[in-house]
Chain A
Amino acid sequence: MSSETLFRRITDSRHRPDPYPLYAELREAGGVARQESGAYLVGTYHEINALLHDPRVSSDLRNRTEPDPGLLVPEGLPPAFIGIDDPEHDRLRRLTMRQFGPPCSPGRVDALHEEMEGIAEELADGLAGRDRVDLVDDFAFPLPVTVICRLLGVPHEDVQKLHTWADTVVASLDFAPGEDPEPRRRAAQEARMTMGTYLGELAGERRGSPAGDMLSGLVNDEGPEGRLTDLELMVTTVLLLIAGHETTVNLITNGMLTLLRHPGELERLRAHPELMPGAVEELLRYEPPVQMLPQRTALADIEIAGVTIPRGVPLILVLASGNRDPLRFPEPDRFDPTRSDNQHFGFGSGIHNCFGAPLARLETQIALTTLLRRLDTPRLLEDPPEYRNSPVLRGPRHLPVALT
């Protein structure tokens, strides 16, 4: 089949359980392939890496020659730092990082360690004694959601509400060929706005009475570069909430699915939990929750791998394909928790590398270690399980597992 139809095939939900043969086809077609829509797919490691570090590649959809129709909705919030370029991206990311990590808040994630273990333990208590559980609804979903809400300072009783909004936003990332994307986009813009208004009001309540959470820090701390404006705060916290919510769920679920498919490795990790940090890195390579970055655009004609990517067209970097590139990783289709030299794209690379990566790493290490310790004989009940629709944020909708 023609490499021009690869994107259509990758986004087809029939290929969701196993998109990897399509990625191999992309790499064999030279790694850079023009699509029938005019977009360009990139799927080889070194080319993706070069583009992620190339200042001529923009994350701002406003740089597309044919503007994304979703951008024309006047009532929508402006893009968050994930969707803009330096120097503005850098300013917003740094102001936000002041409240999350080093150099200003180096202990923020580390301080959550024991609490995360406690939440994981409590969720595992809820699995005990049951014949059959859904590892998504009963474990992988509530853990990161509880943690991100706790980190930001969202009260527990509002968590469900935020989840519903976050789901609506993420649904707009789905590609359903032949379907009019407009209603979904509009619903997503509305959900972002509602969520932003909620978070803005919550932050307003913390102004002058800080409660030790990130929202309090964002409204009260005045650094050398000032503070986020009210609108910037809304947009940024919506991003953190959604990103902290929809990706780690898939990392944990893909992780358990992969371990259940590799019982030898599962037993090894159960016996040697000190191998878990490396195993999570391998999961980020082997089954990354973010399969591709569909939002990039070339700011100039860029020549790469003998192909010229024209200025202004959509540029889609297929991270999960780069992660399986045999020119970079020996035996790339083998899951090897002790793999060395594992510089994967699970969290992207370059200036937009995942903001929440250290939190996601720790949550997943804790989640998987707890599950292996607490579940004696877990068994997959459906393989492959039913997947969520998105080809970008890919993961099972449910993961039914038998415990007896």
Chain B
Amino acid sequence: MRVVVDLNRCQGYAQCAFLAPRVFELHGDEALLYTPAVPAEQHERVLRAAAACPVQAIVVGEQAGAAGVR
């Protein structure tokens, strides 16, 4: 599973960093770091995180390559 975050949309609500803390990490109050190649045991958490994003900035799945984000 691949994941891409549209950082132009991201507003630092940090829901992903609560729900999948091994994949999404906050540095300081707003800077988001994440692991684009998601290990299998984190899939469920990443799906929860993507659904929870208040600005829908997380794209998950095989489409989350370069073409996934406009």
Contacts and interface: CB of A to CB of B under 8 A. Distances in A.
Interface string A77-112: 000000000000000001000000111001111100
Contacts of A341: 56
B6 to A, nearest CB: 13
B27 interface: yes
Contacts of B21: 102, 106-107, 110
Contact of A281 (B13, B29, B51): B51
Nearest to B28: A103
Nearest to A106: B21
Contact of A358 (B19, B29, B44): B19
A343 B56 contact: yes
A109 B19 contact: yes
A349 interface: yes
Contact of A102 (B18, B47, B51): B18
A277 B19 CA distance: 11
Interface residues of B, number: 23
A101 B29 contact: no
A342 interface: yes
B48 A103 contact: no
Interface string B1-26: 00000000000011101111100011
A53 to B, nearest CB: 10
Nearest to B43: A274
A362 B27 CA distance: 23
A186 interface: no
A340 B56 CA distance: 9
A353 interface: yes
A277 B27 contact: no
Contacts of A365: 48
A277 B48 contact: yes
Given A277-B48, A343-B54, A101 B14 contact: yes
Given A106-B25, A274-B47, A277-B47, A101 B18 contact: yes
A347 B19 CA distance: 16
A278 B56 contact: no
A362 B51 contact: no
A357 interface: yes
Interface in B13-70: 13-15, 17-21, 25-29, 44-45, 47-48, 50-52, 54-56
Contacts of B50: 277
A34 interface: no
A361 interface: yes
B51 to A, nearest CB: 4
Interface in A343-360: 343, 347, 349, 353, 357-359
20 contacts: A102-B14, A102-B17, A102-B18, A102-B25, A103-B27, A103-B28, A106-B17, A106-B26, A107-B21, A109-B19, A110-B45, A278-B51, A280-B51, A281-B51, A342-B56, A347-B54, A358-B15, A358-B52, A359-B18, A361-B15
Interface of B: 13-15, 17-21, 25-29, 44-45, 47-48, 50-52, 54-56
